[in-house]
Chain A
Amino acid sequence: QEKVQQSPESLIVPEGAMSSLNCTFSNSASQSIWWYQQHPGKGPEALISIFSNGNKKEGRLTVYLNRASLHVSLHIRDSQPSDSAVYLCAVSYYAQGLTFGLGTRVSVFP
């Protein structure tokens, strides 16, 4: 069973600051890596994905992937209270499966 580990478990940041989340995975043969956002009582919602080594930027989000170190990170610039949620890292290993991490709970205070 492939493993996806996320750190930190929780993160508290002031409004306007950068939120930085980490994810490590167990197999470099993974395909795409996805980040999902989940608000309480709701289903996860896809934010951004990356396949190739390097970085990808979309709006306030930047994701960095290093397959050699089996590490991917998500950075949220100018964090807002509405960004408070659980962020899930998901790694695809085979045709139809996504393996999810346990998540990082982000709290942004005004």
Chain B
Amino acid sequence: EAAVTQSPRSKVAVTGGKVTLSCHQTNNHDYMYWYRQDTGHGLRLIHYSYVADSTEKGDIPDGYKASRPSQENFSLILELASLSQTAVYFCASSDQGAPNERLFFGHGTKLSVL
């Protein structure tokens, strides 16, 4: 069974601070994704990557950076955290691109920005 591990499970950050969310997968998948989930908006794609050392913008990339230092690891960086970035963040991986491949999601990171 595919495994996607996120850390931390929850985090409280201050407005204007830097936040790094980490994701590690043991599936040997090429594709990795960061989504956020909010009440009223559902899951929205922030950034994704299909190869190490390269990232692509998703639907809502503003205020976020991503880093893919290796096939297994994918980080989401909030340089200046804002109240509007309070949400649950999910990392996912897939063997090929999203349309025809199921995504394997981690358990999520609950981020509260105060």
Contact = CB atoms under 8 A, between A and B. Distances in A.
Given A98-B45, A101-B42, A92 B107 contact: no
A96 to B, nearest CB: 5
B103 A32 contact: no
Nearest to B35: A100
A41 B40 contact: no
B42 A103 contact: yes
B42 A95 contact: no
A95 B97 contact: yes
A98 B34 CA distance: 12
B43 interface: yes
A82 interface: no
A100 B98 contact: no
Contacts of B44: 100
Given A1-B59, A92-B98, A97-B45, A45 B105 contact: yes
A44 B90 contact: yes
Nearest to B106: A43
B42 A96 contact: no
Given A1-B59, A44-B90, A97-B45, A31 B106 contact: no
A88 interface: yes
7 contacts: A46-B102, A46-B103, A94-B99, A100-B43, A100-B44, A101-B42, A103-B42
